[in-house]
Structure 1
């Protein structure tokens, strides 16, 4: 296998498929040989855009006729497990878009099948490989952050965007049937940046969601607090903030780092060296230098046609393919895949528990003639237990 290009096939020709096929095309050791979608027109259009020779509507037929080395699964989350298992049974390595599966039990099934088949699987935690995030990790590994004590991850989502409009306008969309509803398909990107530093297997988790897409019971706002032995974290997922952001702040004992993936911008906050009013000059000057450094780097990559939105995806694909070719370890450890899925399960259990507590509290207020709070963030009555602890 090390002497020829990997044959890569893709199932699911929706919006994210273009990113996959575009990055596969840029990797020298791989070539896209076939695409598959239950809707023939989508498969034909994707194949035409990227010059892919094979077009299928049946995964089994594609696996049998094309015999790919790797299958990319870019379909809705509830289909990930059966499609991955089908590919692994055919002796094919599998790359699965986030979230890996619907829940941790499904994840364990896929991981066990991969081990049994002696094939590799990888999940699309591609933002870990974004240059700005990798610079943050490098700072930590060199000891420049000190010990990390807290992480804040913000994930904005524009409901006016292409995916958001489809989700909001269709109450029968598959996302509404997921345990985590809208967030099930989005929060992994924010959560795995938190778990990059919060290493506990089972941190304490408190989560609440609120708001609703018009005509649905699908919440639009999510707040999560995680507490480990040494690190705490907040996750904010919102469709209300404008502009929508992908920003993570890592708080260390020596330095604070903010990573803005949209601008591929890294900002560092350190203790000032000057005193008195001069601090008001030193800190803005540092921020200017940080921004100028990121601008120079991004401009250098842009002028050389190397400034790509999906750079992290490209790097993750490359590492996964290299692991396949060299019989190495997958870039995302299986234990990490399982740990993150277990945390997602707990987040959504906590959200549902809080919904029940709020409903009980509101009913008790009504029975007692008390006003029912308007804000979904108002706390329930203290007579009820908090769902802060793991069930």
Structure 2
């Protein structure tokens, strides 16, 4: 019986727990993590009783035969040495350590103690890669002359694009090699496995701007071995994100696709005429892909093939070797050569790390004495607001998240503070010394937890800090989603005094958080220190933003648009410049103190006119499918019932649908009267300039 322990309860722990439980003769005896909240969540989800916040306690109380180290890499070395000191074999997720020196230290300690170390080089054990190895071993490829390893990664996923509530970025940004270091092992060790220790490494990097601050997002590496050359590609920008490995030899080539789990082999030459051989080449590849796909489908349905199958196979083999006291499945030489090569590559790579130092103001024509803080300054509305404030002579401090794109703000020369409105300390530093706050930051992802943390808790911090630092004025950006449109009658006119949403949770995370946050502001709306103005804009549009509005319906594969309801139904819009004008008037006119204002263009355009005259002619022809409202309601009801049965949250509810499709209007009489605000141009002229 192999008694296994896990240290680190992040996302990958779920796979390890599952695979350990599937291995006959293995038992998970305990899990450890310094973060008690994450530890308890994993314990509850997988019904694991033995939990520890200290690795020593796990070792002393459970005496594991092997420990899986799944923490961020900066902890790998210390945990590994701790386990090795007790004579416990370790499975270490990639990257094995922060650099070659640390990796060598782990293996030296393991060698001294006679303990096994297994690096998480799981793609070597993927079935498609094992078949490629077999073809090479059989001599069908011949002498290998060239290898190409391609690894695409989606860096726009949420965990890599946001900070947590403590203002921390994902740990991979802090690695010595930045994001690349978290992903380079997988494509690289496949090359090193075949060419051995590299003789020379040449590196080319570039940035297309997909990452903040122009961090490098494309990496190309030419690796010279004794007898073969390897080419490594890591792309953070390509779509789709591809993962493949090609082996080229003097007799044939093997193409491994890790995405489809398929392996294709081609002989180097054909006795057929050239024209015929082109056809047979395609037919051969088509046959192999079809056969592999069918085989994979059968294996998936029968449970013999799982996602991360290579990891499962590697863990199983490691356990067998522990019991048999044989060599580790991943050789020490492969790991050390890989880690040493990574160090050489990263030394030659471009910009890898964020510069989070405060950007001091470079503004020149500051004419106003008031200093303005803009939260959410890197967003669409934020950038336009900052640009106008600078043009009007205000000193501007932009408060942005660490992973925000700040290129435009830097060009404007404003002061830039990095932080998060959820994080009291960083927000505190940003508010200090500011006379006016324009609060635009909010969570728009639709995630309930993040919406609560950012929009609601961020507003709590705003209220407290504005009072603490003696801020004179706060302009607070709310939303028209706070109104009770569900129970309104068609044709009803909403003023700022109209009824607000009584069931915000039924409106979805965004609307709910906006309503709950505004409720906090309404309680202190009449305070004079600071004074407050609340703005409730309609859907904001302008050049540079997505011009397909959710209230229209759904865009399908850039070919079809399913239009909700009738084409004559109106869209409520407001141009970004008109919102900025409302912000400026709220700052400069005392009559706005303690007031709430709707902001919407009084001209409304129908869905059909917008799609026919503006959207489709400029973005490409689309087939418009008008979906009757009564049928849409019925389908939504069916969807709700279905998701309730499987205990999942529906994509759309009737309540939210009704709220978004009501034929109502919003009055702007108050802001027109108090601040003399009005739209800068006709809605059609404004729309025409956006494409």
**TM-score normalised to structure 2 length:** 0.49
The residue that corresponds to 1:261 in the other structure is 258
Q: What SS does structure 2 have at the residue aligned with 1:10?
A: strand
**Cα–Cα, structure 1 residues 51 and 171, in superposed 2: closer, same or farther, change >3 Å?**
closer
Matched, 1:119 2:122: no
Matched, 1:91 2:87: yes
CA distance in 2, matches of 1:166, 1:121: 34
The CA deviation at 1:22 is 1.1
Q: Which has the higher contact order (CA 8 A, sep 6+)?
A: 1
CA distance in 2, matches of 1:163, 1:252: 40
Does structure 1 retain, via aligned residues, the 8 Å contact 2:198–2:226?
no
CA deviation digits over 1:174-195, x for unaligned, max 9?
Answer: 3222221101111100001111
CA distance in 1, matches of 2:213, 2:341: 25
Q: What SS does structure 2 have at the residue aligned with 1:185?
A: helix
Q: Select the residue among 155, 162, 182 that pairs with 1:185.
A: 182
Listed as ranges, the matches of 1:220-299 within 5 Å are: 220-270=217-267, 271-299=269-297
**Cα–Cα, structure 1 residues 153 and 171, in superposed 2: closer, same or farther, change >3 Å?**
farther
CA distance in 2, matches of 1:45, 1:322: 31
Listed as ranges, the gaps of 5+ residues in structure 2 are: 354-691
Listed as ranges, the gaps of 5+ residues in structure 1 are: 356-391
The CA deviation at 1:53 is 2.2
**TM-score normalised to structure 1 length:** 0.85
The CA deviation at 1:217 is 5.8
Does structure 1 retain, via aligned residues, the 8 Å contact 2:198–2:224?
no
**Cα–Cα, structure 1 residues 277 and 215, in superposed 2: closer, same or farther, change >3 Å?**
closer
CA distance in 1, matches of 2:88, 2:95: 20
Q: What SS does structure 2 have at the residue aligned with 1:322?
A: helix
Q: Which moved more, 1:63-72 or 1:265-274?
A: 265-274
Matched, 1:348 2:346: yes
Q: What SS does structure 1 have at the residue aligned with 2:322?
A: helix
Q: Select the residue among 72, 75, 79 that pairs with 1:79.
A: 75
Does structure 1 retain, via aligned residues, the 8 Å contact 2:179–2:352?
no
Q: Select the residue among 13, 18, 36 that pairs with 1:17.
A: 13
CA distance in 1, matches of 2:106, 2:183: 21
The residue that corresponds to 1:313 in the other structure is 311
Q: Which moved more, 1:277-286 or 1:107-116?
A: 277-286
CA distance in 1, matches of 2:168, 2:319: 38
**Cα–Cα, structure 1 residues 217 and 67, in superposed 2: closer, same or farther, change >3 Å?**
farther
CA deviation digits over 1:118-159, x for unaligned, max 9?
Answer: 221110001000000000000000000011100011000012
Q: What SS does structure 2 have at the residue aligned with 1:277?
A: helix
CA distance in 2, matches of 1:346, 1:141: 30
The CA deviation at 1:262 is 1.1
CA distance in 1, matches of 2:336, 2:157: 31
The residue that corresponds to 2:29 in the other structure is 33
Q: Select the residue among 141, 145, 149 that pairs with 1:149.
A: 145
Does structure 1 retain, via aligned residues, the 8 Å contact 2:175–2:181?
yes
CA distance in 2, matches of 1:52, 1:266: 38
CA deviation digits over 1:209-238, x for unaligned, max 9?
Answer: 332564446422211110112110111101
Does structure 1 retain, via aligned residues, the 8 Å contact 2:198–2:223?
no
Does structure 1 retain, via aligned residues, the 8 Å contact 2:147–2:229?
yes
**Cα–Cα, structure 1 residues 254 and 261, in superposed 2: closer, same or farther, change >3 Å?**
same
The residue that corresponds to 2:330 in the other structure is 332
CA distance in 2, matches of 1:66, 1:334: 28
The CA deviation at 1:52 is 2.2
